[in-house]
């Protein structure tokens, strides 16, 4: 059984994340959506809200688990006996950043990273853009799953 971790802060989950997760389900038998917890980072949404967004969005998908973790993603993967990390790429900048992390993760642990390109219609969406739109009272509803449309 091929299992992968899709790590992120998901602050909040966007339709870009959703795109990668849905397409990742065609590659892997199980996906763990792993919310990384970083005590020094200021989040817009609480950990409980972010977990709820993911659980509610994928409540009918039996191949998905939602978990949280602290520390290195590869250590979390090892604790869950996971051999793959799934990551989405929106642009060349993402590729350069993610490539360095993937090489480091493989060197540290042997865990492979699998990249999927975000669909062209969603490649501009990022959580930071969504947060900025929310902070400025803009209409962010076309950028996120329905469950996030609560604020």
Give the pLDDT of residue 129: 94
Q: Contact, 66 vs 51, CB < 8 A?
A: yes
| Catalytic entry in 41, 42, 120, 142 | 41
Which CATH code fits 3-148? 3.40.50.620
pLDDT under 70: residue ranges of the chain: 150-151
| Catalytic entry in 3, 52, 127, 142 | 127
Spans of all domains in the chain: 3-148
Indicate left, alpha or beta for 137 from its phi (over 0: left) and psi (-120 to 50: alpha): left
* pLDDT, mean over the chain: 94
Cα–Cα distance for residue pair 19/8, rounded to 1 Å:
14
Is 103 assigned a catalytic role? no
Q: What is the pLDDT of residues 62-98, one digit of tens each?
A: 999 999 999 999 999 999 999 999 999 988 888 999 9
CA distances for 96 relative to 14, 101, 147, angstroms: 22, 9, 32
Residues 6+ positions from 145 with CB-CB distance below 8 Å: 13, 15, 18, 53, 57
Residues 6+ positions from 135 with CB-CB distance below 8 Å: 44
Is 52 assigned a catalytic role? no
Is 17 assigned a catalytic role? yes
Q: Contact, 122 vs 89, CB < 8 A?
A: no
Is 107 assigned a catalytic role? no
Rg for the chain (alpha carbons), in Å?
Answer: 15
Percentage of the chain surpassing pLDDT 70? Answer: 99
């Amino acid at each position: 059984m091929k299992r992968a971790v899709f790590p992120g802060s998901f602050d909040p989950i966007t339709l870009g994340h959703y795109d990668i997760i849905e397409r990742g389900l065609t590659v892997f038998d199980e996906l763990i959506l792993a919310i990384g917890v970083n005590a020094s980072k200021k989040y817009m949404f609480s950990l409980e809200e972010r977990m709820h967004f993911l659980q509610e969005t994928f409540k009918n998908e039996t191949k998905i688990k939602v978990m949280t973790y602290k520390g290195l993603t590869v250590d979390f993967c090892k604790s869950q006996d996971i051999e793959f990390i799934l990551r989405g790429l929106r642009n060349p900048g993402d590729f350069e950043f993610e490539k360095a992390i993937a090489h480091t993760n493989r060197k540290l642990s042997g865990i492979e990273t699998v990249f999927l390109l975000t669909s062209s219609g969603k490649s501009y969406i990022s959580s930071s853009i969504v947060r900025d739109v929310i902070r400025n009272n803009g209409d962010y509803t076309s950028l996120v799953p329905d469950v996030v449309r609560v604020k």
